[in-house]
């Protein structure tokens, strides 16, 4: 009798959440795959099944290749620089004896609580060609015309990378700090007795001991770089100048929502999803090490 009561109770508990989850997450996710096989100009009317035609067009679409290049560049640059900085600052804040540690931890995490729109607005103040923060600092050292951080086709993607790194360092630092502070103090003490310096300790002790931690964040980096780059590009540059800062999902959004080519947009979405899935799997395989047991 109690068993049955529990089943009914559990069903009542789970059903509302499950139904809304299926409706607003699972169904739209499945729809991306289904819609990618249709030519779809407007709302529900006039859908035609065209098989893989959207994907065929996609692979000869130059604008897609540009968004592809930009996204890869951002994933690589942002991941490498952010990991380096986050590991450095995490290890400093965990291991060094200095004053103001918690002040630095609090400040470094601030970008994480800001809306991407706020971050974009802050960076448009930093990058503003005429009276932006960056150019007015650089103006002290150099002469000549101002640098167009957001208007130069070659520079723009790096300007976006810097904004993404600025946003991400504190988050990953806190992640790595959790890993580092779980390492027993005694190991560091014996390393110090053996005469290992800072560098040695960092590379031969800290990094191997939080390797699983680092591996997990690599997957995060792939997924979140694709996502955050879209959110920043959409708010900061809108893909411009002339498509030079277009990334994966901003191109998808432009095609699907702005241009009303829903089927084509969703084909981009499917491709990006599969790409991020494969890349995460690849990184996961390549970085596999035998875990270090204490």
Partner 1 sequence: MEAVQKPSLGERLARSLIWLALAALAVSILLPVIWVIMASLKEKSEFYGNPWALPQGLYLQNFVDAWEKARMGSYFLNSVIVTALGLVFLLVLSLPAAYALSRCRFPFRKGINTLFMGGLFVNVSYIVVPIFLMLVDANQLFGVSFFINNKLILALVYASTALPFTIYLLSSYLVTLPYAYEEAAYVDGSGYFRTLVSIIIPMARPSILTVLLFNFLSFWNEYIIAITLMSRDAEKTLPVGLMNLMKAQNAAAEYGRMYAGLVIVMLPTLILYMLVQKKLTQGMTIGGIKG
Subset of 147-206 contacting partner 1 (CB under 8 A) = 166, 169-171, 174-175, 178-179, 182, 189, 192, 198
Binding piece for partner 1, criterion CB under 8 A, among 5-13, 59-67, 72-80, 153-161: 5-13
Q: What is the DSSP letter of 48?
A: E
Least separation in angstroms between CB 227 and partner 1: 5
Specify whether the backbone of 44 is left (phi greater than 0), alpha (psi in -120 to 50) or beta: alpha
Q: How many residues bind partner 1 (CB under 8 A)?
A: 93
Least distance to partner 1 from the beta carbon of 147, Å?
15
* Residue selected from 52, 76, 125, 292 as contacting partner 1 according to rule CB under 8 A: 125
Give min distance, CB of 253 to partner 1, in A: 7
Q: Can you tell me the distance from the alpha carbon of 129 to that of 136, in angstroms, rounded to the nearest whole number?
A: 9
> Applying CB under 8 A, does 213 fall inside the site for partner 1?
yes
* Nearest distance in Å: CB 69, partner 1: 19
Instruction: Report d(CA 270, CA 273) in Å as an integer.
Output: 5
Span 248-287, contacts to partner 1 by CB under 8 A: 249, 252-253, 256-257, 262, 265-266, 269, 272-273
DSSP state of 50: -
Nearest to 247 by CA among 77, 64, 98, 118: 64
> Which of 79, 82, 120, 159: binder of partner 1 (CB under 8 A)?
120
Stretch that binds partner 1, among 16-24, 50-58, 61-69, 73-81 (CB under 8 A): 16-24
150 and 156 Cβ atoms separated by less than 8 Å: yes
Please report which helix (H) or strand (E) contains residue 39, including its range. strand 38-40
- Pick 64 or 262: Cβ nearer partner 1: 262
Structure tokens at 102: 């918690």
Residues 35-94 that bind partner 1 (CB under 8 A): 35, 43-44, 85, 88-89, 92
Residues between 230 and 249 that touch partner 1 (CB under 8 A): 230-231, 234-235, 249
In the complex, least distance from residue 130 CB atom to partner 1, rounded to whole angstroms: 9
Nearer to partner 1 by C-beta: 72 or 171? 171
Which residues fall within 8 angstroms of residue 243, CB to CB, at 6 or more apart? Answer: 63, 66
Residue 13 within binding range of partner 1, rule CB under 8 A: yes
Give the binding range for partner 1 (CB under 8 A) out of 59-67, 68-76, 115-123, 200-208: 115-123
Binning the chain into helix, strand and coil, the percentages to the nearest 5 are: 75, 0, 25
Using alpha carbons only, give the angle 37, 38, 44 rounded to the nearest 5 degrees. 135
CB nearer partner 1, residue 72 or residue 188: 188
Q: Are 160 and 231 in contact (CB under 8 A)?
A: no
What is the C-alpha to C-alpha distance for residues 238 and 256, in angstroms, rounded to an integer?
15
The answer, yes or no, to whether the previous bond of 241 is cis (omega within 30 of 0) is yes
């Amino acid at each position: 009798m109690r068993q049955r009561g529990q089943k009914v109770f559990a069903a009542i508990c789970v059903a509302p959440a499950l139904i809304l989850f299926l409706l607003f997450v699972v169904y739209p996710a499945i729809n991306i795959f289904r819609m990618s096989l249709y030519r779809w100009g407007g709302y529900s009317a006039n859908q035609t099944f065209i098989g893989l035609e959207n994907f065929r067009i996609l692979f000869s679409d130059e604008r897609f290749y540009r968004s592809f290049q930009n996204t890869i560049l951002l994933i690589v640059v942002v991941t490498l620089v952010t990991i380096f900085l986050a590991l450095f600052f995490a290890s400093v804040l965990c291991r060094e004896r200095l004053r103001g540690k918690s002040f630095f931890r609090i400040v470094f995490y601030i970008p994480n609580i800001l809306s991407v729109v706020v971050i974009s607005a802050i960076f448009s103040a930093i990058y503003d060609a005429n009276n932006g923060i960056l150019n007015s600092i650089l103006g002290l050292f150099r002469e000549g015309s101002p640098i167009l951080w957001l208007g130069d086709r070659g520079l723009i993607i790096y300007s976006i990378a810097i904004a993404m790194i600025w946003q991400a360092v504190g988050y990953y630092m806190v992640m790595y700090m959790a890993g580092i502070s779980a390492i027993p103090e005694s190991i560091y003490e014996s390393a110090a007795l053996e005469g290992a310096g800072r560098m040695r300790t960092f590379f031969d002790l800290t990094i191997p001991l939080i390797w699983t931690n680092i591996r997990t964040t690599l997957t995060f980096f792939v997924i979140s770089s694709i996502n955050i780059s879209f959110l920043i590009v959409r708010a900061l540059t809108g893909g411009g100048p002339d498509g030079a800062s277009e990334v994966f999902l901003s191109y998808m959004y432009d095609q699907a929502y702005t241009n009303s080519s829903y089927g084509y947009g969703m084909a981009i979405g499917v491709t990006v999803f599969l790409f991020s899935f494969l890349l995460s799997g690849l990184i996961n395989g390549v970085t596999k090490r035998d875990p270090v047991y204490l």
